[in-house]
Structure formats: C-alpha cells, structure tokens
Structure 1
C-alpha cells in the first residue's frame, strides 16, 4: 500500500521549508518504526504552501506481538494461603490480562510469574491516523496562532490530505479535517482531487505546481543556464540563493531585466547585495569576468504578461541602486577619523560601553595576540591601525541601508582613503567566519583582528554574567567561540586560552579599558565554553568520543594542542598494539593521579634493575617532540613499564623509597598529559 500525507498552509518563509520537510520525514519514520508498522521509501515533497510525504510499501497492519512477560517471583505473587497477592493482580491488570493467565517458569532455581501475550497488530489506517500528532510536534524558529485557537504552527493550516491508496485516513487539526483535495497554484491552478498517492505529483503538475523540490530546482537552474547561454553571460547560481528561490515558487519561470550601466560605478559588492540579498536576483558577468548591468529573476508563475513583471522588478531594483549611489557618494565626503569619532556615541551594549571602547580593548588584545602569530613589525603596525578604525563603517550611510555590507564597506572605503592594503584586507575579514563553517580570514593581520574582536565579545559578555544557557544565545557567542577555535586550529598557533584570559584581564585593567569589570570572574566558564567548541570541531571530524573526552581535559585549553593530540590518538587507535600501550601508560597515570608527588627522582634509592631501566627510558623521552614522535616514544616504553611493575612494589614501606617511586611515575604521567587524560581512552 501507498500513503500520502500533505499539510497545506499559508506561504512559509523560504528558509523554513526544507528543514521542516526533513523534520516531518524523520519524525514520521520514527513514529512508524516505534509503532511497528512496516514501510518502505519515504519520498519528500514541498512548496511554500505545502509539506508532503509519500510512503511506499506500507504494511496492511502492525506486526503481531507474541511475547512472554516476566512478573514478580512466585513467593511474592502468592501469599501464605496460596491466594494471589496484590502484586500479582496489579501486574496482570497492567498487562491487560487476569491471574487466570499466569504461568510459572523456573529461572536459576527461582520460580517467576509469566504471562504469554498474543496481540494482533492494528490496521495501517488506525496507526497512520496518529501521524497528526507528529505534525503537531514539529518545531519552528517562529510561530503563529490563528482564529480562536491557542495552537501554534509556522503558518495557519488550511487543508490536509491523508490518503492510503484510494481511502481517506481520518485525522483532524483544529477545524481542518483530512480529505483527498489539495490546492493548485494560487493564480494558475485550482483545487483538485487526488485519487491515489501515485497520482499526487502529476495531479498537482496539471494545476501548475511542481511539488518535487529537486525537480523544481533543476528547472530553475536550467532556465538560468539557458538565459546565460543565449546572452553569452557567465552565471554561477549561488547555492543558498537557489535554495531560497526554489522555496518561494511553485511554478518557476526565469526572466531577465536591466539596470542603467551608470550604476556599475558602484562597488560590485553593493550591486550584488542589492540584487541577491535584497531582491533575490541572480547576477551575471561577461566573459572577462566583469559584472553586467542585468539581473535574472524567477517568477512564481508562467510567462504571460512578463513585460509588466520585468518592468516592475527593474523599477524596484533601480530605486535600491539609486539609494546605494547616493549613500556611496555621501559616505566619501567624510574622513575615516570623523566616522571613528562618531563611535563614541554608538553603544556596543548598555553594560559594555560604546563601540569606541570596544575598539580600544581590541587594540590591546590584538597586541597581546600578535607575537603568537609571528607578525612582523610592519604587520603589527598595520594591525594596530586596523584595530583603531575597524568598526567605522557602521556609521556610514551605506551600511545603515545595507547592513549585510558591514566590513565589506570598511575595506572598500579604507582603500579609497589610502589605507595600506593589509589594513583594508583585515577590515574586510574582521567578521570571518560569518557562519559556523564559513571562510576563514586569508591574512595574518585579518586573522588576529577577527580573533581579538571575538575574544573581546566573548570575555565582555561573560564578565557581565551574560552567559548562554540552553538554546538561548542572543549574541551568537557560541559562533564567536567556534570561530576562535577554527582560526587557532587553522593557524596552528599554540595558545593556552586560560593563561591568555588572565593576560588580557591584567592588561585591560592596567590600561583602564575594563570599565571596572572583572574579566577574570567567569574565566573557568569561558574555558569550558571554548572547550565545548573544540568538542564540536572534533565531532565534525568524526573523532571518537572517548578520544575527544581525553584531549579536552587539558587544563590549559590549548586548542591546537588538543586537536593535534586527537589526531595522534586517532591515527594509532586502530593499531594492534594500541591496547597494550594504553594499559601500560594508564596504569602509570592512575597511580600518579592518586598519589601526586612533586620531587626529584634519586637513583641512589633504586633497589632493582627495572627502576634504573625505567628511569633511563623516561630520560630518553623527548617531552618537547611533536606528538606523533612522542606517542611513538611512549609506546616504546610498554615493555619497560610492565617489567617495572613486575619487579617493583611502588607503595613500599620505606617512605623515602615510596616517594621516590611515585615521583618517577608522576614524571612519566606528566609527559602523557600532552595527550590529555589517557584513562578515558577506550583501548579495544
């Protein structure tokens, strides 16, 4: 059998459509598995006005259940007179049976109550009707309620199709009852009846709705390619824009429009933002790579009256470009210093002062970071200049109108005003990465500026107890911290973050830039917060959870060291002798952890050859070697460690001997800490 579920709504925001469809499919599959109703492939369909699933090979009914259920022991089920106890009666009642159904089974010499249950599976339609609860359980970034109802959903629901082969499966959401009728295109189609799930796609196509997102996206892509080929343009459809446009239309028709060539004098980032981000147009280049004064839009409809559509879109875009041209000209009338002065009156946050104060802190933090990134004196000078002005574009007219261009316009205006190219590039890279896996800054100066800015934001908000909890993260501090982690990892800069925090706090206070805030108050929480982002990074690289747990216990919170340790342990974990090495090393680590000793080992207190052998072997280990070499050296100690424990009683009666032996083991354990806590690594 085949089943169709379609939820028809008012137009959803484009960014919600695909995640909502995937969520519906995943929750439906889980529901059917939990209900033990067999099914095959689940096909997903969506437009701005509908979320739909077609489920193939639906079983006629649930699997029958045949099972023996174990109850209390016989001595508990029967009282002294041989009557059934309350425990026995309660057990059978809970299973929907009676004490007459009880049998006894002997388990290792003790008899227990058992019930044999034969439960016939429910028909598919009865199970499928429960999918309405799956629909109600969907979650969204925004919600609406309508009419007199308290129920909330992404948009008001107007129809439901619930069809098992040719039969309607009853379900109801508020006042909307399921049937077999769906809505066609709002302007080109009409309501239509779906006879069977197999007819769904073509029935809607006849009503000018392409319900398959992949088919619709391919059509848009092909239409754009055809236009580009016909005009000898180069068009690279942006994947995110294509996804957004695809979720705005049901019957796509691509078209082209023009704008006055005079607007090409505006920076192309502004033109692209106006077309792509504001109007959802695709832009084109000529064969030389220069932007062409045209755009490609996608209409939710056919080609009728397209001239009117094109004129309307051209008029809207021209108005945007006219604004951009005005702001671009006006912004250049002021100097960078004039804009920077305005930042004194622009709040970063009410508890954290102005943007000018933030830039002062970032200058200090940048100077602290610079040596770790091996910046030259010229680069340090450029970094300080960049940090002293990098937020100036926030008070320009262009960024006020086109907020998406912050940073981009700072770089462009800096170039116009004669700033060094390194400074301009850093200004353009200050927000990177702008998403979890977005591009990282390409320059050293840009990397340090971006990291200093994010560190300041993170430390400042923690200093005023504005710490993210649960899903609540209004200032995107998790993304900021993850950006810090990614930049450190990419640059291979070893920088213990707990020590860095203390240095930043000390210098901000010395420079009187801390606004009286205690930047050390929540230092431990900051470290833990960043460590969680390291875990995120390693999880995305499919590192084993036990290895992640091991390396993220490093007290210094050195991102680069932790990532490198994870890589080394991962590279060795599947080797045949890994278990032997781990058992030997973790034996040492556990003893040292229980008996910490800070003392110098005295060879004169050795009383067997194994002690001398271990001492010499540890002396030979280069604790500063790269981690791969160090792990190899430690692995070579396995036989020596085992021989030591075979011949040596660590906890000797003589206190001096005992302390000496513990000092030796602590010496080795301290070396292993470059890999974190090896005791949590699962050696298989």
Structure 2
C-alpha cells in the first residue's frame, strides 16, 4: 500500500446548490465520529464536491485500529478464594463468565481492599477490513432536508446515486450501497469528459479530474469564478457587483467555471436599478456591472459550466433570454404607471391577508391607525404624523402591481418607486420601502422615523394578529416568520432608542382587533403570550451583547416592556457583579428574598418593632428607596445598585438580631412585610435570585 489516504466519492445526479455546504459539514462530522468509534486514528478530514459528486478525503489513516483493553471488576479476594488460597465458586464463576481461567485473573489493591479483575485485550483489526463497513454506514447516515427514492430501491439520498469511488491509498475499498458496487472509476464533466476515468491512487484524484474538466475543490472553483468575473468587469471599464449568496449558488451549479460577458439594450437602463439587478440575479444568476459613478452598465457576466468552446453562441443565448426578461419588466413598469399608487389601495380589498384576520385592506386600515398612535407616542411633528399615516396607507399597494406579482422580492422597492412617480414626498416613499426592514438577520434597519413607525406597526400587527387567532410559532414551524419580525421590532427600538412601551404597542393592536371582531382568544392570554415571545427575542439580543445568562434571566424576570431600559439594567448588573461588594449583597438579598415570599401584606407598622435592628433596617429602607427612585427615573442604574448595596449591613444585622418567624403573629407578619418591601426595591432593576456566583 503506497500511502494511507482515504478517498470516497459518491457520484449522483445534480444536487441542488443549497444542499451542498450543509452536506459537506455533515459528511465531515460523521466521518470523524465513525473513525473515532472504530478506534482508527486519522489526520485531517476534508470534504469537497460539485453538483454531481460528494467527496471525502481522510489523511493519515492508521493501518490498524487501536487495541481495546477491557477491565471487569470481580469479587473481593477474600470471597474469591478460601483460607487455603483455593478458588471458591464465586472466583471460579467470575473467571468462567469472562472466558478466562482463574490464573489469568489479576488481583489489585483498591480503596475497599483487594479485588479480582478480568483484563482482556481485543486486538485491533486492519483498517482495510473495516473500511467497507465504515463507509457504508457513513453513506447511510447522511441526512437531508429532502431526500429522494429511485427505481425500486429502499435507499433514500439527496439525489439518486450513480457511482461510488472508494480508495485507500492505491487499493480499492469494496462496498455496495443501493445495488451500486464501489469501483476505481469516476466520471468527468458531463459533456467535456472522455468518459469513465480510472483513478489509480487517492493522491491522483484531483489532478485526474482537473484534466477532465472537473474542479472538485469548491474553494478553488470559487476563486476561479471571482478572478474571472473581476477581470471581465475591468475589461468592461466597471466593477462587478458580487453578491455572496449568488456567488455561492453559482459555485455549486458548475464543475468547470468559465465566465463570459454579455450586453443588453441601453434603453432598459431606464428601468429602476433594483428591477435590473433582480432580473439578472434572481432569474438568470447573472452578475451586474457598475461604472465608476456607481450606475449600472448595459452589461452582465454569467458563468457557464464548461470551457470557452462555442462561447459566442452561449453569450447570444444568454443575451436573448435576458432581453426577453427585461422587455417583460419594461412592460410591467409602464403598465403599473397608468394609475397612481393610491388608486391601487382599493384593490387590496380583494386580497386576503389571512383567513381569520381578513383582507390586506383591513390590515392597512389598522396600520394607519397604529402609525398615527405610535407617532404621537414619540411626540413627532404634525407633518411626521401625517407622513406616517400616508406611508401606512400606501405600504401594501405595490403588492397588486404587475412588477411585484412577477418579482415578489421587489415588494416595498417598487412601492417606493411608484410613490415617487405618483408625487408622494420623499419621507412617505422611503417609509414604504423601509417598513419591510429588516428582511433578514443581517439586513439594515429603517433609518427614518416614519419608516421605523410603519415597520413596527406592520410587524406588531402581524404578531399580535397571529397570536390572537391561534397561529403561534412552534419549535420547528414559524410560517409567518413571527420570530424574525419580533427580533426586528426589538432591534429597531434599541437601535434608535425609541420611547415605545412594548405592552402599550400590544394593547393598541388588541383594541383594533377586538373592535373589528377578529380576536379569537382572550386579550389577557394573548398579551401574556406575546410578551413572553418578545422576552425570548430580547434574550437573544442579550446573548449577542455578551450579557451572562444569569444576568439575562435576572432582568427578564422583571418588567421588560421598556426594551431600552431592560438593556441598560442588564449592562449595569453585568458591571456591578464584578465588584467585591456584590457577593455579600447577593447573600443578604437572597436571605431576605427567601422569607419575603411568605409575606401576606406589604404594610409596615413601626409600632410593632421590638428590636433596634428592625428600626435601623426600616430607616435604611426608607432612605434607600427615596434615593433609588430618583436614580431609576434618571436611568442611573449603576448608582442605584451602589445605593442598594448599603442595605447589606442593616439586613445582616436584622437577621443576626431577631427571629423573623416570631411566635407573635403580628410581629412576624410585620417583619415579613419589612423584608418584602426591601426586596421589591431590588426587583425594579433585576431579580437577583437568578444570579449565580461562579
């Protein structure tokens, strides 16, 4: 055997681009785990692939699996042998059960005395004997979001398997999956290859396929694509707009990339920029080109799966397809402009938003009212209130335009464009686009106040409406993307420090739903569940900002309806828990909190005090409460925590001096009330009982 590199290639029909990277990760993890289970040491594990193949390469595979030593503890020596040193039934039975003689057992000293041990070593097998079993198990263990069955096979895989190549160094590994027997042959490019290709050694695999127009290494293909399209962009006098998602998709659609540049009629440049880009990227997988001024050029770049042979014919075909697509776009664009955007709103009465929540027109009416209310809560000017209402009214009108029906991803984009063409002011037009933001986790947030208001209104209406009719996300199902929308609301409010109370926003939506007779569940139940739903989103925000889990829990256990306030409190507690006095304060707080829950009243009667420590704690409580209340109003939580720390000594002295659960019922309840009031000052910042001391 010339070397110890393992190569596995699973040849399939074309695998969808979106499946490739998750499969690579899974293949690598499963392989590493299986070799570990089989006690075979390996070097690096790497995965590669093209649309027609999944490839695993394992370097430095040991030629044998490690020996396995098993130790079984038996009876004590004094039980296994009699006084004369002869084995008893217990000793003989243990040896027999382990397949050994008594003489082969070991006697070892333990903390509990001398015991018998059966020690057996299972010699490792040669790796080449185990590889068929390992690789078969590996292929069967691969799991996909969507799998296929084919022919009469019971096997499920991402796509039908056509061949399996398996080599350990220069020796074939024999296995069979779905009636496909492994071999030393692979296949090159579907159209450019000379046919079946024999691979003599795992070392030669990549070079041999490269000769047959297959670049197996996806990272190398990616770099080739970037270099080629960048160079073509420079030749055109511009710069290619490289979208990472498109680049990834194209990379997994080709085995041998060759970029080419095409052009289209300049009259199509009159179309909005987003229409051109969407037509090229989404429908044709083309890369647009910008000039030095940032304007789109009447050119595009695409990547073919093949060589430069007959590339002019390929170019002409792509230009023809794009020309037809852009002609359609121009037609839709012109048709949509035959009436103002406002004229389309009435047609939303014929479009269902959700069966129980009515039409999109009914939703728009709610958005107008919510936007007005939210704008006033933020003390915006009359013009900003008017713009918010107008943007909300027009926000969904583009959904029934020809352009958005053809290109759904342009919702909001075309609304902004048509609003401008209809004479709406910039604030309204921009808000129509921004109200969809953020559309995904890394998307930008709306930057204008009007856009922020309509965006929050739209999202909170969706969330409360869905919860109100029982459409609540589960662990795996969230068809209305409510988690993403809730996260969007939280990010918008935090990013712009908006003074909007979450509970108030929910109440505003509930009132409108009740008025329209759309609510199918109780208001209180819906409000509680929606607030809990937002708590989960805020927990993610805390995690992103580096807030410890216990501090997060402590703040989330209190009122979080003021999101900005909750974040500031979390940051203050994070800072304070690093101070030396924090642990002592926490101990005092927990002592008080454990008994405070037993209080039946919050009323404190100083006349019932029987010890000086009660009076001192009461005085400290009153003084601290007054000081803390002022600091809370000023949002100075760090200083408030410093002030609360002064309660530690009077709390400790109180517990050292009196028995809280006194025989006198009135005295006992009075002391419990004192503790309850003391603890409640803390909970205006966080529930410190959730804090864990490392």
TM-score w.r.t. length of structure 1: 0.90
Q: Determine whether 1:535 maps to 2:539.
A: yes
Q: Which of residues 243, 246, 268 in structure 1 aligns to 2:248?
A: 243
1:452-509 superposed Cα distances (whole Å, 9 cap, x missing partner): 2122222222222222223122222222222223223323346554454344313432
Secondary structure of 1:255's match?
A: strand
Q: CA deviation at 1:434?
A: 1.0
1:218 and 1:299 map into 2 onto residues whose CA distance is 15
Aligned to 2:85: none
Aligned residues: 676
Structure 2 contact 625–681 (Cα < 8 Å) conserved: no
Aligned residue in 2 for 1:294: 299
Which residue of the partner structure matches residue 171 of structure 2?
167
Aligned to 1:283, what secondary structure does the other structure show? strand
Q: 2:84 maps to what in 1?
A: none
- Measured in 2, the distance between the counterparts of 1:32 and 1:576 equals 49
Distance change in 2, residues 1:169/1:681 (3 Å): farther
1:137 alignment partner, one of 141, 148, 152 = 141
**Cα distance between partner residues in 1 of 2:28 and 2:442:** 26
Distance 1:227 1:484, change over 3 A: same
Distance 1:70 1:399, change over 3 A: farther
CA distance in 1, matches of 2:114, 2:489: 62
Q: What's the Cα RMSD here?
A: 3.1
Q: Is the 8 A contact 1:590 1:679 kept in 2?
A: no
Q: SS state of the match for residue 46, structure 2? A: strand
> CA contact under 8 A between 1:411 and 1:427: conserved in structure 2?
yes
Q: 2:636 aligned with 1:630, yes or no?
A: no
- Match of 1:588? 592
1:424 aligns with 2:424: no
- 1:620 corresponds, among 624, 627, 637, to 627
- Aligned equivalent of 1:455, options 460, 463, 477: 460
* In structure 2, distance between residues paired with 1:495 and 1:137: 50
Flag the 1:516–1:639 CA change in 2: closer, same or farther, 3 A: closer
Aligned pairs for 1:98-117 within 5 A: 109=112, 115-117=118-120
Secondary structure of 1:44's counterpart equals strand
Find out whether 1:466 has 2:466 as its counterpart: no
1:523 aligns with 527
The answer to whether structure 1 residue 25 and structure 2 residue 28 are counterparts is yes
| 1:415 and 2:420 aligned | yes
Q: 1:582/1:118 Cα in 2 relative to 1: closer, same or farther (>3 Å)?
A: farther
Distance 1:555 1:74 in 2: 65
**Cα distance 1:648–1:218, how it changes in 2: closer, same or farther (>3 A)?**
farther
Greater CA drift, 523-532 or 320-329: 523-532
SS of structure 2 residue aligned to 1:439: coil
CA distance in 2, matches of 1:494, 1:478: 22
- Tell me the CA shift for residue 672 of structure 1: 2.4
Aligned equivalents of 1:475, 1:366: Cα separation in 2: 21
Measured at CA, do residues 563 and 113 of structure 1 come closer, stay the same or move farther in structure 2, by a change above 3 Å? farther
Residue 52 of structure 1 aligns to a residue in which SS?
Answer: strand
Shift of 1:554: 2.8
Aligned partner of 1:666 in structure 2 is: 676
Structure 2 match to 1:217: 222
Retained in 2: the 8 A contact 1:347–1:354?
Answer: yes
Deviation at 1:160, TM superposition (A): 2.1
Task: Report how far residue 233 of structure 1 moved.
Answer: 0.4
Moved more, 653-662 or 106-115: 106-115
Q: Aligned partners of 1:228 and 1:104: how far apart in 2?
A: 78
Residue 202 of structure 1: which of 194, 203, 207 is its match?
Answer: 207
- Establish whether residue 52 from structure 1 lines up as the match of residue 79 from structure 2: no
Q: Partner residue of 1:345?
A: 350
CA drift of 1:224 comes to 1.6
Contact in 1 for aligned 2:372/2:389 (Cα 8 Å): yes
Q: Which stretch shows the higher mean deviation, 645-654 or 205-214?
A: 645-654
1-side partners of 2:118 and 2:365: how far apart?
75
Deviates more, 1:140-149 or 1:412-421: 140-149
The Cα of 1:363 is off from its aligned counterpart by 2.6
- Gap regions ≥5 residues in structure 1: none
Q: CA deviation at 1:411?
A: 0.8
Change (3 A) 1:149 1:477: farther
The secondary structure found in structure 2 opposite 1:130 is helix
544-553 vs 175-184, which deviates more? 544-553
Contact 2:487 2:537 in 1 (8 A): yes
CA offsets, 1:30-68, max 9 Å, x none? 333344432222223121222222122223333333343
Q: After superposition, where does 1:100-499 map in structure 2 within 5 Å? A: 109=112, 115-128=118-131, 129-189=133-193, 190-493=195-498, 495-498=500-503
Q: CA separation in 2, counterparts of 1:651 and 1:534? A: 39
Distance in 2 of aligned mates of 1:570 and 1:113: 55
Give, in angstroms, the shift of residue 568 of structure 1: 3.0
Compared CA separation, residues 618 and 338, structure 1 to 2 (3 A) = closer
Displacement of 1:253? 1.0
How far has the Cα of 1:423 moved from its partner? 1.2
Q: Secondary structure at the match of 2:353?
A: strand
Does structure 1 conserve the Cα–Cα contact (< 8 Å) formed by 2:461 and 2:509?
Answer: no
Residue-by-residue CA offset, 1:171-192 (whole Å, 9 max, x unaligned): 3321122233222111122432
1:153-210 Cα offsets, whole Å, 9 max, x none, are 2211222222222223333321122233222111122432233333222222111111
| Distance apart, 1:636 and its partner CA | 4.6
Deviates more, 1:490-499 or 1:322-331: 490-499
Structure 1 residues 104, 645: closer, same or farther in 2, change over 3 A?
A: farther
Shift in Å at residue 521 of structure 1?
4.2
User: How far apart, in 2, do the equivalents of 1:77 and 1:550 lie?
Assistant: 58
TM-score by length of 2: 0.89
CA contact (8 A) 1:582 1:683 kept: no
Largest Rg, 1 or 2: 2
Whether the 8 Å contact between 1:601 and 1:664 is mirrored in structure 2 is no
2:598–2:672 Cα contact (<8 Å) kept: no
CA deviations on 1:96-154 (whole Å, 9 max, x unpaired) are 75796877878665888754343333433455432433333333332221111243222
SS for the counterpart of 2:240 is coil
Q: Which residue of 2 aligns with 1:651?
A: 661
Deviation at 1:563, TM superposition (A): 3.2
